[in-house]
Amino acid sequence: MTSPVVKPLQSATAGGLIAGRSPLAQLLHALSQPLTGLQCSMEVALATPRTPGQYERILEVGLELTERIRAVVGAMQEVMDLEEEKNEQLDATELKTLLRDTLDDLAPVAEVKTVRVAFGCPGDGRLVVKARRRRMASTVFRLLESALSLAARGSVLLIEMGGAPTEAWFRVRWQIGRSASLFKQPELGLIVAQAALEHTGAVWERERTEELETVTVRLPIISDDGGILNPP
């Protein structure tokens, strides 16, 4: 089975994402919006005298915007911390096992969300990729957890995987459950997962339509002699 062809995210307005931007650039774009909103709310508060109730509402808006800023800054810190892992040893990681173990861990989340998980893996071949095992496990967990959180209740989360001669790939697809926002933790989680995967040499592709969202990750396969086929 060949690697799927997935178009990149096409809309700059969908969830505030901008096609082709790096994870850090996306987060900087997301940060500018609540900062602007916070400044505007403070300017409105100072423009003319307000009633106590109006001041209370302005403070509530300011606290909400501050919380959004803290969330984006936290995601930015996670992305920047990836640089410290640059020299850590890479491990051989069996992709199918990693995905199955992660889905088992997330089964209670899927049950609460009433999202059915479907996992497709044609053939019995082992696809071994080279990555930092602990980071890879936490990143795949973050990706699938975010997808579950964003999926519509009662829908299906589809995970597929396969391999081409020099690469392994896995694809996650879900029905969009609500309007995406870069201020929400699931969307921030996807951006952090993208940064972590790209940091290990993976290729991240994302597509969104009105109803479906698809993330495809392509990773180089380790050859029989331990070398990386088609390294990035």
Nearest 10 degrees: Cα torsion 187, 20, 96, 193? -40
Q: How many residues does the chain have?
A: 232
Q: Compute the distance between CA of residue 37 and CA of residue 19 in angstroms, rounded to an integer.
A: 24
Query: What pLDDT does residue 177 have?
Result: 79
In this predicted model, what pLDDT tens digit does every residue of 99-128 receive, in sequence order? Answer: 999 999 999 999 999 999 999 876 656 788
When divided into structural domains, the chain yields a total of: 1
Place of tokens 């009105």: 210
| Other Cβ atoms closer than 10 A to 213 | 22
- How far, in Å, are 8, 92, 126, 203, 225 from residue 222 at the CA level? 26, 8, 11, 16, 8
In this predicted model, what pLDDT tens digit does every residue of 23-44 receive, in sequence order? Answer: 999 999 989 989 999 999 999 8
In this predicted model, what pLDDT tens digit does every residue of 152-168 receive, in sequence order? Answer: 999 999 999 988 777 88
Q: For the chain, what is the mean pLDDT?
A: 82
User: Domain range spanning residue 110?
Assistant: 1-232
> For the domain that residue 226 is a member of, what is the CATH number?
3.30.565.10
